[in-house]
Chains A and B, each alone.
Chain A
Amino acid sequence: MMLNFLVILLFELGSINHCAAKEAPSPVLSPHYQWGRGITWQAINLNLGGYFNAAYEHPQQFKENISLNDLSLFFTWSPHQRLRFFAEIEAENWLSTQGIDSLDNSLSTERLYLDILTSPASTLRLGKFLTPIGRWNLTHVSPLIWTTSRPLVTERRLFTSHVNGAMFTHRVDFNDHTLGVAFYLDESATLDAFDNQLGFENGVGSRITLDVNDHVQIGTSWLNFKNKSFAQKSSNQLLGIDLLWKKNNYELEFEAIYRTSEDNQGTEHGLYLQGVVPLMNDFFAISRYEYVNGTHRYLPTTTHIGVTGLAWKPFTPLIIKAEYLFGDNNQFVAPTGLFTSVSMFF
């Protein structure tokens, strides 16, 4: 019934836009597919796409595992000049050599929000979206990152990766610089329809970025939050700074985070510094250093981690990665081992 309604609605909207555009020799009004950019139906401003990530992981002292880590679908629709609806539905760890999970357990709504374009430079976002802390969490999807493993300071144990609430963003261009400001409110306690137990109870935060020039972006993040999973819901403070430098396919990325906590999650701080160097034939060398001090996953730790690996990007939407992770005091939080993956936007 609901499906029928949606089909009729899409058909009607398509008809309206076709009529409006009859005079114009539109480039492509019928749906068309482009590898890595999804199916676009310009007549109704709709795009369907997604990505997958398959990984082989062999941490020392653990069983090796081959899995379809992520299979995600994106849905974007602009029903009005000022409205953009976006949804990402993900099947996480659905198939692996350690078993096949039911689709019900694997499926989750990664993101679900409505953007209201309030002005050419301002947007109000309502719904479930990625927590704007640092760069990694905002671009954590496997085809966009250089390693299969994720830095500890960007893990959801340190801060929840999603916000349920509202965010206002504004961009200011001056000279050759761009200043971006985001301010957001979380009220997961009442708004989280998916009841993520690792989520926020509530929170308030902001992120400021400055594009210094075409190659350098610096950012700061601040968040005050309470965790849903703790009986004693005390206030946590989180501060972060980040830096990205990119030029001629060379890249340097840095993030540092400090979190104080009055509950048993504990205080924690850490950083990572990652460098990317282009080699020949679309190969890239990657090295990363990580440091974490404090209570991570409820364990007091002072951990040093090194990651060294290669990535191959033979085509824009496709990336194949292999890396070796090692460290000091890392066995419980990020075990030493070999990690490889294949990721692709489709």
Chain B
Amino acid sequence: MITLRSALLLSACFCSTPLYADDIFVITHQQSSFAKLTPKLIENIFLKKTLLNDTGNTWIPLNLDPNHPIRIAFSLALFKKKPEDLEAYWNEQYFQGITPPYVVASEDAMLRFVSTTQNAIGYALPCHITDQVHVIFKVNSPLSLKQFCQKNL
């Protein structure tokens, strides 16, 4: 219920969303206390520039496959780059011993992992969100994703 209310509040905050845009929700564990995450912080978490959260635990960012339409939309929305355009960045990070976020096989796997793992952070379409996760941010997708609500990819 709290999660649903958070989602509605977030939607209200983003009432200036263009009509063509779809949304992607950034999600964490249901009991997480991260109420305020800025877009820059979310970007830093998924780029693994920020490894620790405020409670002193390690963030566990999750990604979908680089060819997944929701991953592409999320990457374009957050980094203004396609997943493959970040490969040069991840090459540099690999040299520093930092590897990209874990890749899960589907949105369903993302939701299950986030709902059972403290400090995990992922993303999913609003139509697939369950009350097992906590919505902390809404990203406006530059791509239309409505057709992917038909089934959980």
Contact = CB atoms under 8 A, between A and B. Distances in A.
Contacts of B102: 27-28, 42
B116 A74 contact: no
Interface of A: 21, 23-28, 36-38, 40, 42, 47, 49, 74, 76, 78, 81-82, 84, 86, 117, 119-121, 139, 141, 143-144, 171, 173, 176, 214, 316-317, 345
Contacts, number: 79
A139 B52 contact: no
Given A81-B56, A120-B52, A120-B53, A144 B113 contact: no
A119 B52 contact: yes
8 contacts: A26-B117, A27-B105, A27-B109, A28-B102, A42-B102, A81-B52, A139-B92, A316-B91
Nearest to A51: B95
Contacts of A117: 51-52
A49 B100 CA distance: 14
B133 interface: no
A98 B52 CA distance: 49
A285 to B, nearest CB: 17
Contact of B94 (A23, A36, A84): A36
B95 A139 contact: yes
B97 A74 contact: yes
By secondary structure, the B interface counts as: mixed
Nearest to B102: A27
Interface of B: 40-41, 44, 49-54, 56-58, 62, 80, 84, 87-88, 90-92, 94-100, 102-105, 109, 112-113, 116-117, 120
A120 B40 CA distance: 13
A120 B50 contact: yes
B94 A37 contact: yes
A141 B95 contact: yes
Nearest to B58: A81
A292 B100 CA distance: 39
Contacts of B50: 120-121
B97 A82 contact: no
Contacts of A81: 52, 56-58
A24 B117 contact: yes
Given A24-B116, A27-B109, A28-B102, A144 B92 contact: yes
Given A25-B113, A27-B62, A82 B52 contact: yes
B49 A171 contact: yes
B94 A38 contact: yes
A25 B115 CA distance: 10
A317 B52 contact: no
B87 A316 contact: yes
B104 A27 contact: yes
Contact of A38 (B44, B62, B99): B99
Contact of B99 (A21, A47, A82, A141): A47
Given A25-B109, A117-B51, A37 B99 contact: yes
Contacts of B80: 214
